[in-house]
């Protein structure tokens, strides 16, 4: 039995709830895309092509995955905006804010790695730019200022599994998109909700 | 309370409802689900009529002239066009994240304005945040609508087929000028607001004040560099053998 | 008297038990963190491939007569621009020094233009507009014994390097 103030929907604008909702839709449709999608540089693009043109309702599922991911990328920052503007990060909710910022980062990483999976031209060059950004990080990148690691040891090497983009990179992006990041996000979301519960529910005017 | 025979007793029948409150489950959850249902309908219609884009097969031997990131990263792409990669790709995002992570600890007041829009009491914090947030979306809009082939700037009424001529060569501040500019910028940015608004300074305390104003000045610093680059074709403010800003 | 002794014994016992309990507690945490750390380090090391299948950094590009004077040849699959001037040849990296896209050769303006963030380079590889921080590097070129030219992408040379023909 938990009572919450009437009009809560007006306070939260449902933005957190909608973020969960779109995340669940992605989680629901993503694994079905995995049934036809093979993360190989020779196959991936053709598989997405098949998914859109041959597999019954494949295009629909892919569209759903894409558009709910898009809506999530809109919803999460706006949720953050509403949390900030209503001062809902103040004690006792600081920890939840920290969890939230991490979730924001992971959401963007999901959107980035997902975009690379079809291995079309946009994906390839987006991946190139992203990985070269890693290469240019200070200290840990081989081309950044004060770099200490050579090109076959730096952070970009570990991210793409080589000194250039190729099959190992796609495999890694696939792993990140379908296993590592969603797992971390699910765990953090659990913590996010537990924190709300522990703070005695959502913030309201005092 | 009357209990009708034959009807199961539910927990919500047993307790008095506090005024202005409702049950989290089912009442509140149902409301959220209704909103979810609304968006589910929209998503189905949208997914039925609008296809997710799929471009040509990746061609590692040639970058297309009209390359553009996914819309949510176009803001970053726009930022990358003004700075060295280690700055735009690593340092600036790190500072943004650091600022976000630090937000609850930079706010000196633990209770003011929780759960409502306290425009008067928390004006500075709220307008700062909205400013940064709006700027991110502004970058996305500029990158998405005003950048043409080869990432040249085109007004909406200009023809994308006309390739823009290359700009004149850029220039950089000499080293002493660069050092002076940076010291003056950050020195003034961190001290002046505290002198003008001493109350603000005392309310924040030294540590919070310095971190907040540093992040603020950094934001303005980046904006100023973008302006100088656009207006005067300035490439670097500071040139050193190890890194350039 | 006997009572106080018993009491003292009890205190000693409890503090000893307390210390033991604390030791066990932190010991368990220590072991856990140690093992988690070992797992973490092994996973990081695991992610560094020991062998990668990547094309060789040296390759042959044919005889000088195959290329017209003043031409810029885009060798996309090698990510190299081969430029022939009156004096000879040089090979530029076709990887933008900004973030790795491939600049496009604009014949009309005689410049390389990068599509990703608008970087621009002269024909000699010098960056003159947009964000790229450095000129396009030049690679070492040599003649193979059979008279064909070779490029070695692992060896960068100065901006004035030219393979004379
Ligand atoms: C936060 C949640 C997620 C977001 C924001 C997201 C986003 C994306 C995006 C933008 C794409 C590119 C789609 C396209 O090319 O049209 C994509 C593709 C893909 N995603 Fe996700 N995704 C999420 C969760 C998941 C999960 C949990 C899985 C699987 C377990 C998954 C599996 C896939 C697969 C297999 C593809 C490639 C198929 C395709 O490109 O259409 N996604 N995702
Ligand atoms: C995947 C991303 C996220 C999900 C699924 C999520 C989910 C939720 C949900 C369902 C709530 C309940 C209240 C509401 O609906 O607004 C909530 C509250 C909250 N969220 Fe998030 N959130 C996410 C990201 C973030 C981010 C990016 C931040 C901030 C940086 C954040 C900070 C908070 C805070 C502080 C609360 C408590 C608000 C209050 O008590 O009024 N969350 N979140
Ligand atoms: S990658 Fe060439 S300008 Fe950014």
Q: What is the pLDDT of residue B98?
A: 96
- Kindly report the nearest CA distance between residue C121 and chain B, in angstroms: 10
Question: Model confidence over A38-77: pLDDT tens digits?
Answer: 999 999 999 999 999 999 999 999 999 999 999 999 999 9
C107 in contact with B, Cβ within 8 Å: no
Task: Write the CB contacts of C6 (distance below 8 Å, at least 6 apart in sequence).
Answer: none
For residues C7 and C81, state if they share a domain: no
To the nearest whole percent, how much of chain A has pLDDT over 70?
Answer: 99
Strands (E), chain B: 21-23
CA A82 vs. chain centroid, Å, equals: 20
Q: What is the mean pLDDT of chain A?
A: 92
Query: Candidates C79, C95, C99: which one to mutate for ligand 3, based on the most atoms within 8 Å of Cβ?
Result: C99
Name which of B95, B52, C49 is nearest A163 in CA terms: C49
CB atoms within 10 A of CB C46: 9
> Of the candidates A129, A161, A163, which has its C-beta nearest C101's C-beta?
A129
Domains and CATH numbers, chain A: 13-198 (1.20.810.10)
Is the pLDDT at A4 greater than 90? The verdict is no
pTM, two decimal places: 0.92
Q: What is the pLDDT of residue C150?
A: 92
Binding pocket residue ranges, ligand 1, CB within 6 Å? A 23, 26-27, 30-31, 33-34, 37, 48, 62, 65-66, 69, 72, 107, 110-111, 114-115, 117-118, 177-178, 182; B 52
Is residue B13 one of the residues assigned to a domain? no
Report the pLDDT averaged over residues B111-118.
Answer: 83
Q: Answer yes or no: are the C-beta atoms of A169 and A161 closer than 8 Å.
A: yes
Is the pLDDT at B20 greater than 90? The verdict is no
CA B147 vs. chain centroid, Å, equals: 20
Is residue B147 one of the residues assigned to a domain? yes
For residues C15 and C67, state if they share a domain: no
For residues C106 and C35, state if they share a domain: no
Distance CA(A46)–CA(A146), nearest Å, equals 42
For residues C24 and C83, state if they share a domain: no
Peptide bond into A92 cis (omega under 30): yes
Range of the domain at B74: 69-232
For residues C41 and C76, state if they share a domain: no
For residues C65 and C111, state if they share a domain: yes
Give the atom of ligand 2 at the shortest distance from the alpha carbon of A17. Answer: 10
For residues C93 and C159, state if they share a domain: yes
Report the pLDDT averaged over residues A80-90.
Answer: 92
For residues C73 and C37, state if they share a domain: no
Is residue C52 one of the residues assigned to a domain? no
CB atoms within 10 A of CB A189: 18
Is residue C41 one of the residues assigned to a domain? yes
Distance CA(C100)–CA(C137), nearest Å, equals 13
Is the pLDDT at A14 greater than 60? The verdict is yes
Range of the domain at C107: 58-164
Q: What is the pLDDT of residue C108?
A: 86
Question: Model confidence over B122-135: pLDDT tens digits?
Answer: 888 999 999 999 99
Domains held by chain C: number: 2
Query: 3-state DSSP call for residue B179?
Result: helix
Does ligand 2 come within 6 angstroms of the Cβ of A75?
Answer: no
Give the atom of ligand 2 at the shortest distance from the alpha carbon of A106. Answer: 1
Evaluated on CA atoms A109, A111, A112, A115, the torsion sign reads: positive
Q: Which residues of chain C have pLDDT under 70?
A: 1-13
For residues C22 and C65, state if they share a domain: no
Is residue B146 one of the residues assigned to a domain? yes
The CATH number of the domain holding residue C112 is 2.102.10.10
Structure tokens at C81: 């621009």
Give the atom of ligand 3 at the shortest distance from the alpha carbon of B80. Answer: 4
- Alpha-carbon distances of B109 from A90, B97, B101, B162, B206, rounded to whole Å: 8, 21, 17, 55, 15
Distance CA(B46)–CA(B41), nearest Å, equals 8
Distance CA(B76)–CA(B87), nearest Å, equals 11
Domains held by chain B: number: 1
Is residue B5 one of the residues assigned to a domain? no
Is residue B59 one of the residues assigned to a domain? no
Q: What is the pLDDT of residue A122?
A: 93
Is residue B198 one of the residues assigned to a domain? yes
Q: What is the pLDDT of residue C7?
A: 67
For residues C17 and C91, state if they share a domain: no
Distance CA(C143)–CA(A55), nearest Å, equals 54
For residues C32 and C65, state if they share a domain: no
Query: pLDDT band at B10, cuts 50/70/90?
Result: low
Is residue B83 one of the residues assigned to a domain? yes
Question: Model confidence over B140-150: pLDDT tens digits?
Answer: 999 999 998 88
Q: What separation in Å is there between the alpha carbon of C108 and the centre of ligand 2?
A: 54
Is residue B58 one of the residues assigned to a domain? no
Question: Model confidence over C83-119: pLDDT tens digits?
Answer: 999 889 999 999 999 999 999 998 888 899 999 998 9
For residues C131 and C70, state if they share a domain: yes
Is the pLDDT at A184 greater than 80? The verdict is yes
> Of the candidates B67, B89, B165, which has its C-beta nearest C109's C-beta?
B165
Q: Answer yes or no: are the C-beta atoms of C110 and C123 closer than 8 Å.
A: yes
Is residue C128 one of the residues assigned to a domain? yes
Query: 3-state DSSP call for residue A119?
Result: coil
Binding pocket residue ranges, ligand 3, CB within 6 Å? C 96, 98-101, 114, 116-119, 130-132
């Amino acid at each position: 039995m938990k009572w919450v103030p009437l009009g809560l929907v007006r306070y939260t604008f449902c933005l957190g709830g909608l973020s969960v909702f779109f995340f669940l839709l992605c989680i629901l449709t993503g694994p079905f895309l995995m049934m036809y999608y093979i993360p190989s540089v020779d196959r991936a693009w053709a598989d997405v092509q098949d998914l859109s043109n041959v597999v019954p309702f494949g295009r629909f599922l892919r569209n759903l995955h894409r558009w709910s991911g898009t809506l999530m990328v809109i919803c999460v920052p706006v949720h953050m905006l509403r949390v900030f503007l209503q001062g809902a990060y103040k004690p006792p909710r600081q920890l939840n804010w920290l969890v939230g910022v991490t979730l924001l980062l992971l959401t963007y990483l999901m959107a980035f790695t997902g975009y690379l999976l079809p291995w079309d031209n946009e994906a390839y060059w987006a991946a190139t730019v992203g990985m070269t950004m890693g290469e240019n990080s200070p200290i840990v990148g081989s081309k950044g200022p004060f770099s200490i690691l050579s090109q076959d040891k730096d952070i970009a090497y570990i991210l793409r599994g080589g000194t250039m983009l190729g099959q190992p990179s796609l495999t890694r992006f696939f792993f990140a998109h379908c296993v590592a990041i969603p797992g971390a996000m699910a765990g953090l979301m659990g913590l996010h909700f537990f924190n709300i519960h522990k703070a005695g529910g959502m913030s309201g005017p005092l | 309370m009357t209990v009708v025979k034959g009807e199961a007793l539910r927990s919500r029948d047993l307790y008095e409802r506090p005024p202005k409150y409702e049950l989290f489950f089912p009442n509140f959850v149902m409301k959220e689900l209704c909103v979810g249902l609304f968006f589910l309908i929209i998503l189905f219609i949208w997914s039925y009529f609008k296809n997710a884009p799929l471009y040509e097969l990746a061609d590692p031997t040639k970058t297309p002239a009209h390359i553009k990131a996914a819309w949510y990263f176009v803001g970053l792409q726009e930022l990358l066009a003004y700075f060295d990669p280690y700055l735009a790709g690593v340092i600036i995002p790190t500072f943004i994240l650091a600022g976000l992570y630090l937000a609850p600890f930079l706010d000196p007041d633990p209770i003011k304005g929780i759960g409502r829009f306290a425009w008067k009491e928390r004006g500075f914090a709220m307008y700062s945040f909205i400013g940064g947030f709006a700027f991110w979306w502004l970058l996305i809009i500029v990158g998405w609508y005003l950048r043409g082939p080869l990432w040249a700037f085109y007004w909406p009424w200009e023809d994308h087929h006309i390739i823009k001529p290359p700009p004149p060569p850029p220039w950089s501040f000499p080293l002493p000028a660069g050092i002076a500019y940076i010291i003056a910028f950050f020195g003034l940015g961190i001290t002046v607001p505290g002198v003008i608004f001493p109350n603000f300074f005392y309310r924040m305390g030294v540590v919070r004040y310095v971190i907040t104003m540093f992040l603020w000045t950094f934001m303005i610093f980046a904006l100023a560099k973008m302006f100088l680059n656009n207006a005067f074709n300035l490439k670097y403010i500071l040139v050193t053998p190890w890194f350039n800003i | 008297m006997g009572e106080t002794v018993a009491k003292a014994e009890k205190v000693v016992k409890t503090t000893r038990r307390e210390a033991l309990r604390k030791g066990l507690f932190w010991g368990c945490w220590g072991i856990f963190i140690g093992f988690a750390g070992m797992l973490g380090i092994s996973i990081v090391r695991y992610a560094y491939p020991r062998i990668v299948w990547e094309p060789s950094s040296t390759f042959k590009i044919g005889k000088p007569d195959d290329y017209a004077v003043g031409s810029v040849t885009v060798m996309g699959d090698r990510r190299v621009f081969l430029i022939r001037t009156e004096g000879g040849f040089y090979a530029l990296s076709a990887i933008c020094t900004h973030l790795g896209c491939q600049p496009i050769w604009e014949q009309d303006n005689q410049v390389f233009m990068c599509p990703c963030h608008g970087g621009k380079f002269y024909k000699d590889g010098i960056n003159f507009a947009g964000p790229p921080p450095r000129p396009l590097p030049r690679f070492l070129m040599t003649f193979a014994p059979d008279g064909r030219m070779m490029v070695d992408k692992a060896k960068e040379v100065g901006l004035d390097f030219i393979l004379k023909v």
